[in-house]
Chains A and B, each alone.
Chain A
Amino acid sequence: MGRYLAQRLVYGVLTFLLIASFTFFLMDLLPGSPFQNQEKLSPEQLDILRDKYNLNDPLPQRYASYMVNLFQGDLGVSFKYDSRPVTDLIMERIGPSAQLGIQALVLGVLLGLVLGVVAALRHNTAVDYGAMFISVLGISVPSFVFASLLQYYIGVKWGVLPVAFWESPAHTILPTVSLSLGVTASIARFVRTEMLEVTGQDYVTLARAKGLDGQSITWKHMVRNALIPAITILGPMTAALITGTFVIEKIFAVPGLGELFVSSITQNDYTVIMGTTLFFSAVFILMILIVDILYGVVDPRIRLGGSE
């Protein structure tokens, strides 16, 4: 197990470095420059600015110094936000994004799980069709449409919950619900398929032959086995959710990471692009590692590194 983990960590770091390098070179191909109103600047002024951010150095040299700084935990300073360190910007924004993401994830996974299990148990009945209708709706309706509807009815018309901003727990409800819709939908579909698959397995028949009641058979014998494949999609999903979702953050005016990421691209804020990309990659790689470890917990056949 220890050896396996070490190996995976090394691979993780290598992947991270590759992503860092690719992004760095790709970013250099971005059109435009990080400086606004460039046409009003004289070539001399521009040159001074470029010099300040080392943009006049040759690409390999900039790459080398970026990587050296990266290893020291220094992601550089933003071009736009008053030369503030990128790490500070990320740390400032990660809170709301992570909270929103985790809330949506927990809600979506629980709801999806129940919906999927119930649909499978009531296969080919109105309950099943109803659950799958919700699921298809959740997958095909973009979250911003759903978010706008929620804002309009619950926020504006009935005035039950705040429409936007990130201030109190009540403010987090609408964005959480909007964001969890897609999660619920995909988890429900996945779990339903897997549950149906498991229903026909011999060990479920054997569990029945033992005289167990429906509840024990469902939760002890079926759900656990049905969850194993569902864990696969959980890793990338978690990474995507907690690192910020631009659309939902924008609609509900949540000061999160997604918003920072998108604005940095439109403004050619090189260091912020690099910083947020790398942050996302790191979370992603970590999540996949966690999922692999979780596999071993749920499925004893995959105890890692042959620790028998």
Chain B
Amino acid sequence: METILSVRDLTVAFHTYAGTVQAVRGVSFDLKKGETLAIVGESGSGKSVTSKAIMRLIPNPPGEITKGEIMFEGRDLVKLSDKEMQKVRGRDIAMIFQDPMTSLNPTMTIYKQIAEGLKRHQGLTGDDAKKRTLELLTLVGIPNPEARLKQYPHQLSGGMRQRIVIAIALACNPKVLIADEPTTALDVTIQAQILELLKDIQQKTGTAIIFITHDLGVVANMADRVAVMYAGKLIEKGTVDEIFYEPRHPYTWGLLGSMPRPSDDRSQDLPAIPGTPPNLLHPPVGDAFAPRNQYAMKIDFEKEPPFFPITDTHEAATWLLHPQAPYVEPPVAIRDLALKYRPDSTFAKSLLKGGLK
């Protein structure tokens, strides 16, 4: 499928009084037309900064894109002037934010907030703008849209407000939609509704979605492909099946292992990854995950692992995939998942044989 957005070696730094924080340290990924790519990782891993960097919404100062390129339709977004970037934002690439309670302007009517983008990018005013706004409100499933036009954000519930934010994002039929934890601030039933809505919209409009989240359940439900992020870097990329059933990076194992399952023995503690992520003010030498990694080898503390390809769609940055690395046994939860749901995969077979070699 055709690649629509291509991020190469994206590096974002924040200059603070304490020093320079390397929030994103060389991230590369492709987004294909019409697909959903999930970027997962724990808090502070740099997923939000990555998404804001694509929109060039990192406040400068203190933030700065120090390296890399973001290719979109033959242009490098990093190099665009502010004026040129304004034409991309909202028209070609749009964004949905985390907290619907704070992402709408409290002093502006719903109609004005949606129509603003329409006027700016498509020159729609008056009845045309109103017609399109009503269309959008219907698309995002807002009942009685006519009555909502004159209302203010505080008159709507959280779920409704997130629908408005989605309507704003969709206003100009963007080719890429970046959803930065769009359901984190909502309660579970509303979460499910919003996810369904996003899927539905993707089917209707064919927009590609970058879905930022830390919720693996949401990833399984939404994504075609997954990129796992840790300490400002991507560490494993693959299709959703590959990441869930054939994960190769110990950090991905840790994430999946700490996900509760209905079949869990309730008397057992849920496994957690020990330790805390590194301070990106002083990024560690070698693999950033090494200090928390029970499988870490000597080289992990000395040299950063490159990406090792596993399939055409799947790659992981861990020395465990190096031909000279010893075979290690993944956690039981990962093994069970692989053997139960993908017994025929090379990963499952390697588990049974005790290594691929």
Which residues does A use to contact B, with CB under 8 Å? 201-203, 205-213, 216, 220-221, 224-225, 228, 298-301, 308
Contact B99 A202 (CB under 8 A): yes
Shortest beta-carbon contacts, A-B, top 3: A211-B90, A211-B89, A210-B90
By a CB distance below 8 angstroms, the chain B residues around A210 are 89-90, 94, 116-117, 120, 168, 171
Contact A206 B89 (CB under 8 A): no
Contact A202 B106 (CB under 8 A): no
Least Cβ–Cβ distance between A251 and chain B, in angstroms: 41
Which residues does B use to contact A, with CB under 8 Å? 55, 57, 83, 86-91, 94-95, 97-99, 102-108, 116-117, 120-121, 152, 154-155, 165, 168-169, 171
The residue on B at minimum CB distance from A300 is: B152
A232–B117 Cα gap in the complex (Å)? 32
A272–B37 Cα gap in the complex (Å)? 78
Contact A211 B168 (CB under 8 A): no
By a CB distance below 8 angstroms, the chain A residues around B171 are 210
Q: When the two chains form the complex, which single residue of A209, A220, A301 contacts B90, counting CB atoms closer than 8 Å?
A: A209
A207–B104 Cα gap in the complex (Å)? 9
Contact A206 B104 (CB under 8 A): yes
The residue on B at minimum CB distance from A227 is: B107
By a CB distance below 8 angstroms, the chain B residues around A299 are 106-107
A220–B121 Cα gap in the complex (Å)? 17
Least Cβ–Cβ distance between B5 and chain A, in angstroms: 16
Q: When the two chains form the complex, which single residue of B87, B103, B169 contacts A202, counting CB atoms closer than 8 Å?
A: B103
Q: When the two chains form the complex, which single residue of B57, B83, B106 contacts A203, counting CB atoms closer than 8 Å?
A: B106
Instruction: Give the residue among B99, B108, B155 with the most A Cβ atoms within 10 A.
Output: B108
Q: When the two chains form the complex, which single residue of B57, B106, B165 contacts A300, counting CB atoms closer than 8 Å?
A: B106
By a CB distance below 8 angstroms, the chain A residues around B103 are 202-203, 205-206
9 A-B pairs with CB atoms under 8 Å apart are A203-B103, A206-B105, A211-B91, A211-B117, A211-B120, A212-B86, A212-B116, A224-B107, A299-B107
A211–B106 Cα gap in the complex (Å)? 19
By a CB distance below 8 angstroms, the chain B residues around A209 are 55, 57, 89-90, 94-95, 97, 169
A276–B13 Cα gap in the complex (Å)? 62
Contact A220 B108 (CB under 8 A): yes
A206–B83 Cα gap in the complex (Å)? 17
Please judge, given known A-B contacts A202-B99, A301-B152, whether A208 and B106 are in contact too, CB under 8 Å. no
Least Cβ–Cβ distance between B82 and chain A, in angstroms: 8
